[in-house]
Structures are given as structure tokens and as C-alpha cells.
Amino acid sequence: MKLPIFIADAFTATAFRGNPAAVCLLENILEEDSHQQIAREMNLSETAFIRKLQPTDNFIQKNTNSTLTFVTLSGELKARKAEDGIVLDFPLYPTFPQDFHEVGDLIKAAIGDTLVQDIRYSPDTRKLLVRLSDSYDRSFLETLKVNTEPLPQIEKTGRVKGLILTLKGEPGGQAAPYDFYSRYFAPWVGLPEDPVTGSAHTILSSYWSQQLGKKEMRAFQCSRRGGELDISLRADGRVDMKGGAAIVLEGTLTA
């Protein structure tokens, strides 16, 4: 069995930055064990398997508006090509105030005595959003040592599956200004830190839109690889996220 396979870095225009993912193109359905074996071989946090719903489907002819619709295990995902990147169509999830005393042990274990300005919770995604004090800057968030190892033992009810740390941006202070910064951690699912996280920005977009009074924003995820997102909240309650993509590997998988 020979399968076309790619590694793409998303939310960046530069190779070896952004969020790396393997993409495997399938002509036929594979057994789930084969999916898992290929994913383990790729050794990345995400491996996507793309298959046409109908063998006769022709993406070029059917997508004259440059939009593709993917039917995924999480629902439909629409992607369209823009002049300067790819736009993903995501749901937008609200956040609700969270009492510090209910999650204080988790936060202290993760970031120690770092000053916290706001805490929110997203029941739709089971993500906890922790906004750091406005007295900190981007370099502080980038260099902050976050201890994720004990978090699954501290919070093991299943209520929290991801931790977002976020910080207000400095729109007027940099050559490439950003409205907000973030980092994302999910040790509950075996991911100590994710390089760039689209799902986290479905919550961050909602939160920062309310805080800043803006519908159009630019965000930077401060992982070691780093990633940029252009965010646009839509009137239908969804959010468009635009980012670059760099193909860093193209080949054939033999199995």
C-alpha cells in the first residue's frame, strides 16, 4: 500500500514554525488500527486522513469558489483559500466567570504565584481560560515555565480538558502588533503544550472580542514554534480564522 503524505506547518508562512500536522490522502477506507499506526509513525500531535466521500468527486470542478467542506468526527469544517492564507470557519464559544477557589489548586500548580487578572470557563469545550495580569508583557508569557505534569491528578473529574493562558496584546508597541497572546496546554489528552491551537481560539476570540470591543483581531500563540492568526467574528455567531501554511514534506507512505 502506497499513500501520498504531506507534513504541513499551519498558521505560519515559514517552515518549521506554526502547528505541524501530517496529512495522508486516502482512496479507500482504512482500518482504525492503520490510522493509529500511521499517526504513531508520524509522531506529531495531529495526523489527518482525507478521503473523498464519492470516488468520482473532483475538488477542482466542484469548488470554483476555492472552498472545501470536510466532514470530520467533530462536525463539518469549511476551509477556503484567501489571497494571503487559508480561512477556516469555526464555531464561537462563550466563556463564563469561574470562581478562583474552585480551580485555584490547578492554577497554582501550573503557574505558581503568577498574577491572574481573570478566569473563565467554556463548558462547550471544557477549556479553562486564565488571563494573566496586564502588568506582564509578551516576553513574560513566552518564557513562563508552566508545570503541566500534576494537572491531570489535580483535576481528574473530566470537567477541564485544556488550559489556556492569555495576555492582552500591545497593539501600538510592535512592528507586527497583536491584540492578544496565548499558550495552550492539554496534558489530560497527552499534550503538554500545543504549538498553535485553532480550537482554543474559538474561546479566545469570544473572550477578547468582548474585552476589547473588536470584531477583527490579530493573535499570536507564544509557543516555542509560534503562530499567527487573523480573526474575524461573523454576524452568524461563527468566527473566521486565517493563517498561512507551509508544506515542509511531500512523499509516499509505504505500508
Domains identified in the chain and CATH numbers:
2-81+244-254 (3.10.310.10), 96-240 (3.10.310.10)
Check 27, 32, 41, 46 and give the catalytic one. Answer: 46
The string of pLDDT tens digits covering residues 121-142 is 999 999 999 999 999 999 999 9
Query: Under a CB-based contact definition with an 8 Å cutoff, are residues 18 and 10 in contact?
Result: yes
Active site residue 170: no
Per the prediction, the chain carries an average pLDDT of 93
Q: What are the tens digits of pLDDT across the range 165-202?
A: 999 998 665 556 899 999 999 999 999 999 999 999 99
Q: What is the predicted pLDDT for the residue at 34?
A: 94
CA distances from 189 to 44, 124, 216 (A): 14, 17, 31
pLDDT at site 86: 95
Range in 15-29, 51-65, 102-116, 212-226 with the lowest mean pLDDT: 51-65
Report the alpha-carbon distance of residue 154 to residue 157 in Å, rounded: 9
Phi, then psi, of 80 in degrees rounded to 5: -135, 150
